[in-house]
Amino acid sequence: MKNLKRQFTFIGSFIALTFFVWVAPVQAVDPDLIDVVEIIGTNPFIVHTNILPGDAFTDIMTVNNLTGTSQDIVMGLDIDLSEGIVPWPPFELEEKITVKIEKVGSGFLILPGPGGDTIATLQELDDTVIGLGAIAGSSGQVYKIYATFDPNAGNEYQNTKVYFNITMSVDIPDLQGSLLIAKTTDSVAPEAPGNEVGYTLRVTAIHGGVNDVVLTDLPPEGFAYVFGSGTGAPFIHQYASPGVWDLGDLGEDETVTVTYKTKISGNQDDGLYRDIAFATGTNGSGAPVIAVDQSDADNFVGTEVAVVTPTSESVQLKEKDKTDTTTKRIIKRVLGASILPATGAQISWVILALVLFVSGLGMMMYAKRKKALAMKNSNKIITKIVFLFVLGTSVLALPSQASATTVDPRISVRIEAPESPSMESAFAIGFVTLDIGGRDLSAQCYQTGDVPVTTAYVHNNGGNSGNCLIDLPDGTYQFYVRASYEDEEDTVFENVSETVTVEIKAGTPGTPLNYNREKNSCGVSFTTANDGLTTKVELYRSTENSFVADASTFATTLAIAPNTNGAMIDPGADCKDYFYAIRAVSVSGAGSGFVGDDDVTVKHKTNTKTVTETVAGGVGGAIPVTGGGAVAGGETTVPTAGSVEGAETENVSGENGSVLGEGTIAGDVSSWISSHPWWSALIALVLLALGYRGYQVYQKKRNEQSLQ
């Protein structure tokens, strides 16, 4: 343990309703190991003048690790009474200054004190140690210090002073072992669905031995473990969720290397797929040890694998197409009853509905009275009853108080970067999440603005992988995943993934019209459809009258707008023996049907993509073991291309469950109600009042007729 003492001084002087806060310059006792970089000014270190109660200010401190090894940094604070401070309770300046410290790029630090959260007063921080986290070797870390002076502070704090000593400490484990972890993949180019991808993990003990080392590793959703491919250590838990490996006891400088292979699902969407891994153990004194990734001083490691589906579009043609042909496709998703998301009305709304129902029955009972005076009294009673019931249930419908939320570095969550632009409006975005503490995590997919886009997943035993199921109209969207754990005191510990951007352009251009080719010529002419989507036309050719339109038969392309006459010439030297076919393509890459020479058959291939949804509340396999190629979990199959032009194609999986897309309006209304409980309650009250008033008018007329 090496300490570097610094002096950190706050002086508050109340002059003409102005506070002055000053931090003395810092001096390093041992600058060859750690250094605090002075960002603002030269002498003093930090200066704030003319500060009034309620003012907030931010200062930046950079800590440089001058060693070549990752170091865990802690900062001690204590009030220094040697600077001539006169204790003057109860008016102590440190009581009225609150502090938050942000580790830039990692979130706010948990501060000591009775709250155990990210904010504390200077008084609560007196004689404490703050963990600043790990800093990678030969690198620096920026910290932001946010301080706020109590807006209710009065004149009694004039001329108060407080001086703090800061001690920077670096834990050098001479006898206590620690761990390093690294992960790599053999994938160097985009992979096609169905390919195998290998992973390698290395865990090394340094500064001493580490016992009972356990490695936890989670590949992306859809990357299935190849049975029997694991080498280097035995399994504690084979891959049907996170894979857990028993690395045993590691001596100093000993490295264990684990390798295994996965097979990418044949239905995998295009995108950049991320994974997570971490390792733990105990040192010689029995204290827990968490492995550190030297590349970024984090406790989690991971790689990225790109997946790209080879292009192979085709269609059958038998005669020239002289008419505007459009392809209409209906996609229905039906989830089996066993995997329906955990939907249902909130209890407060159920209670409100029951109360309104009971109130309505009461109105009907009172309506049977015949006398006008009795009816008038009854209406007054009913009004009071309904008002009290609605008032009570409106309180129940109000949102509950939000739980305290803390960024927890023990939780990691990573999200796939999907292909953009996307030619499909319905697709999946994969994610992986792990918790070093092994707690039960909830993972929720969000659209920017904290708008949930799918049902929350519950992952037992420290995490799992899953899919965010997206079904949105054309547009540009941003998505992220929040993984969290809530303790018994309603404190939420969470971490948030990267944010990924996707542009959805699902429109399919129309097939070109008026195709024409002069006999034995090398060129074709056509007219693009008036679809607002066509951006180019592609020409394919083959010496056979039956062929697959792919890279091997591609001839040339022409950039062209919709509803435009165009012509293309085959760049080949001798074209008289070729058969031709063309199609229109949108900016997102969506292709139309093909049109071409008479009696040409372009073989048609239909690719399908399967979206597998993890069951909410379950612990279903994140990456099922593939021995016989079976895929676990419920599946929804969506065709990536239409089958026959002019015909409607439906692809439905399962007979029980809900059809996504048909319930979109109801889902949007439900989502709006959940997001706007106050407005929903107000609208319900207005509708109830209008209905009740209409009922009164109706009943009044009815009573008048009875009296007559």
Same-domain check for residues 15 and 160: yes
Distance CA 603, CA 201 (A): 44
Residue where one domain finishes, among candidates 439, 473, 500:
500
Task: Say what the pLDDT of residue 315 is.
Answer: 45
In single-letter form, the type of residue at position 378 comes to S
Q: Residue 119 is part of which domain span? A: 2-170
For the chain, what is the domain count? 5
Compute the C-alpha angle 686/692/694, nearest 5°.
105
pLDDT at 312: 58
Rounded Cα gap, residues 298 and 304, in angstroms: 17
Measured in whole angstroms, the distance separating CA 644 from the mean position of its chain's CA atoms is 37
DSSP string, 540-570: EEESSSEE--STTTEEEEEE--SS-EEEEE-
Residue 258 has pLDDT above 90, yes or no: yes
Residue 660 counted as domain residue? no
pLDDT digit string (tens) for 531-564? 888 999 999 988 888 888 888 888 899 999 999 9
pLDDT score of 352? 55
Q: Tell me how far CA of residue 139 lies from CA of 33, 35, 135, 429, in angstroms.
A: 12, 11, 7, 34
Looking up residue 316, the CATH number of its domain turns out to be 2.60.40.10
β-pair partners for 259: 200, 231
- Transcribe 405-438 into DSSP letters: EEE-TTEEEEE-EE-SSBS-SEEEEEEEEEETT-
Q: Is residue 98 part of a domain?
A: yes
* Alpha-carbon span 203 to 209, nearest angstrom: 12
For the cut 90, the answer to whether the pLDDT of residue 528 exceeds it is yes
| DSSP E strands, 189-303 | 196-206, 210-218, 223-225, 235-237, 243-250, 255-264, 271-274, 276-282, 288-290
Among 642, 137, 626, 227, smallest CA distance to 423 is for 642
- Residue 4 confidence (pLDDT) above 50: no
Tell me the C-alpha to C-alpha distance, in Å, between residue 282 and each of 52, 287, 297, 484.
50, 5, 19, 26
For the cut 60, the answer to whether the pLDDT of residue 284 exceeds it is yes
Q: In 3-state terms, what secondary structure has residue 372? A: helix
Instruction: Tell me: do 188 and 279 sit in the same domain.
Output: yes
- 330 and 650 in contact (C-beta within 8 Å)? yes
Inside any domain, residue 658? no
Same domain, 159 and 21: yes
Going by pLDDT thresholds of 50, 70 and 90, the confidence category of residue 169 is low
CA distances from 466 to 53, 375, 415, 428, 448 (A): 48, 60, 10, 9, 19
Mean pLDDT rounded to a whole number for the chain: 72
687 — pLDDT class (breaks 50, 70, 90): confident
Q: How many CB atoms lie within 10 A of CB 596?
A: 26
Tell the residue number behind the tokens 């049902």, with chain if given: 455
Same domain, 202 and 160: no
Percent of the chain with pLDDT over 90: 28
Is the pLDDT assigned to residue 388 strictly greater than 80?
no
Q: Are 46 and 59 in contact (CB under 8 A)?
A: yes
Dihedral of CA atoms 485, 486, 492, 493 in degrees, nearest 10, equals: -30
Alpha carbons 350 and 286: distance in angstroms, whole number: 52
Q: Which two tokens stand for residue 561?
A: 């707008």
Q: Tell which of 574, 594, 616 closes a domain.
A: 616
Q: How far apart are the C-alpha atoms of 537 and 549, rounded to whole Å? A: 13
* Mean of pLDDT values over 198-227: 95
Q: What angle (nearest 5°) sits at the alpha carbon of residue 180, between those of residues 179 and 181?
A: 120
Name the token pair of 372. Answer: 């006008």
Q: What is the pLDDT of residue 643?
A: 31
Q: Are residues 34 and 161 in the same domain?
A: yes
Asked if 538 and 602 sit in the same domain, the reply is yes
Q: Is position 665 within any domain?
A: no
CA dist 667 and 669 (Å) reads: 5
The residues that bridge with 538 in the sheet, in sequence order, are 557, 583
Q: Exposed, middle or buried by CB within 10 Å (0-12, 13-18, 19+), for 559?
A: exposed
The per-residue pLDDT for 641 is 34
pLDDT greater than 60 at residue 8:
no
Q: Which of 76-85, 192-201, 309-318, 374-383 has the lowest mean pLDDT?
A: 374-383
Residue 635 forms part of a structural domain: no
Tell me: do 351 and 292 sit in the same domain.
Answer: no
Q: What is the DSSP letter of 698?
A: H
pLDDT at 657 over 70: no
pLDDT of residue 343: 38
Task: Kindly state whether residues 161 and 67 are assigned to the same domain.
Answer: yes
Handedness of CA 577, 581, 586, 589 (dihedral sign): negative
Looking at residue 361, its pLDDT comes to 53
Buried b or exposed e, range 140-158, using 16+ CB within 10 angstroms: ebebebbbbbeeebeeebe
Per-residue pLDDT band for 363 (boundaries 50, 70, 90) equals: low
Phi-psi domain of 589 (left: phi exceeds 0; alpha: psi -120 through 50; beta: other)? left
Distance CA 168, CA 60 (A): 16
Are 486 and 533 found together in one domain?
Answer: no
- Beta strand ranges found along 339-379 (DSSP E): none
Q: What's the whole-number mean pLDDT along residues 75-99?
A: 66
Domain boundary, last residue among 117, 136, 170: 170
Question: What's residue 16's pLDDT?
Answer: 27
- Sorting pLDDT into bands at 50, 70 and 90, what band is 311? low
Asked, for residue 696, whether it belongs to a domain, the answer is: yes
Give the integer Cα–Cα distance in Å for 350 and 354. 6
**639 in a domain, yes or no?**
no
Query: pLDDT at position 215, please?
Result: 97
Cβ atoms of 527 and 548 closer than 8 Å: no
**Rounded CA separation 378/365 (Å):** 10
Cα angle at 150 between 145 and 156, to 5 degrees? 125
- 371: pLDDT strictly greater than 60: no
Same domain for 439 and 551, yes or no, is no
Q: Which residue carries 């404490």 as its tokens?
A: 128
Task: Please check whether residues 550 and 587 belong to one and the same domain.
Answer: yes
Instruction: Say whether pLDDT at 398 is over 70.
Output: no
Say which residue the tokens 């392809």 belong to: 327
Does 243 map to a domain?
yes
Q: Do both 294 and 429 map to the same domain?
A: no
Lowest mean pLDDT among 22-31, 47-56, 80-89, 596-605: 22-31
Residue 246: pLDDT over 50: yes
- 315-362 pLDDT, tens per residue? 444 443 333 333 333 222 233 322 333 334 444 454 555 555 555 555
Hey, which bits of 347-474 come out as E strands?
405-407, 411-415, 417-418, 426-435, 441-447, 451-452, 457-459, 463-471
462 against 162, higher pLDDT:
462
**Residue 627 binned pLDDT confidence (cut-offs 50, 70, 90):** very low
> Is residue 288 pLDDT above 50, yes or no?
yes
